[in-house]
Amino acid sequence: MTDQLKAELLELALEAALRAGELLRDGRPADLGVAATKSSAVDVVTEMDIASEKLITGLLTDRRPDDGVLGEEGASIEGTSGVQWVIDPLDGTVNYLYGLPSWAVSIAARKDGETLVGVVHAPMRGETCRAVLGGGAYVNDRPVQVRPAPAFELALVGTGFGYRAERRSRQAEVVRQLIPQVRDIRRGGSAAIDLCDVAAGRLDAYYERGLNPWDYAAGELIAREAGALTGGRPGDAPSTDLTIAAPSGLFEPLQARLDELGAWHD
């Protein structure tokens, strides 16, 4: 786990994310449609998700053939090096489908289960967020830090919703009870960008149930390197059950309140 390895992984993650972002931005067909659905009819995959993942996995396996790969659209390579790439080739697919700008390419590199590098490239924002474990967080070349924790009732909190009706209904009930207690709620449609917005001080906090590793792996490291605490239920790491990111002083009461509200289950 040397600095040289981290630097090599970061360079490759940046190259892959920038190339995929260019493909997605410049190659989006005017008649873009849904190529497939996943958990429900509104949980969609486009042909561009698939093309982006193919570009990224091809580059990674060409440069580092012994590494493992875990991708949202089906890429799965075991690898033998101990390094695993966790990629979301298009986070915010529905935004992309509708021509909204909040979408990104998310690439993380793990070594023996620990995230070493995270890159979230948001082409329509003109931003590349990145972090290396122990090296701080950056938006483009500008170092970023989370906002100081506000009082709970003054917190601007980001969240998201799943695609299955039963889960959405439960998540909406959690929001209904939480929103009178905070400044406001934001729903951007890209978990990776939301986590980076916590890192950059554009949100005070973020939480969501139902994320997969490719949704949060890169953004969670970026938020943490910017000074956020991250976790799930009390005592747990971020997971599909619940992912939370916020500065110390806000993280603790938010985590406790979300646990009381049952934000970790449907």
Burial group, residue 61, by CB count within 10 angstroms (0-12, 13-18, 19+): middle
215 is in an annotated binding site: yes
236 is in an annotated binding site: no
What are the residues whose beta carbons fall under 8 Å from the beta carbon of 27, sequence distance 6 or more? 48, 51
26 is in an annotated binding site: no
132 strand-pairing partners:
117
A 10 A CB-CB count for 258 gives 23
Q: What is the dihedral of CA 33, 34, 35, 38, to 10 degrees?
A: 170
Which amino acid appears at position 252 of this protein? E
The answer to whether 33 and 148 have CB atoms below 8 angstroms apart is no
Which amino acid appears at position 143 of this protein? P
Taking phi first (over 0 means left), then psi (-120 to 50 degrees means alpha), and beta for anything else, what does residue 29 get? beta
Taking phi first (over 0 means left), then psi (-120 to 50 degrees means alpha), and beta for anything else, what does residue 16 get? alpha
Give the number of residues written for the chain. Answer: 266
72 is in an annotated binding site: yes
Binding-site residues, please?
72, 88, 90-91, 215
Binding-site residues for Mg(2+), please?
72, 88, 90-91, 215
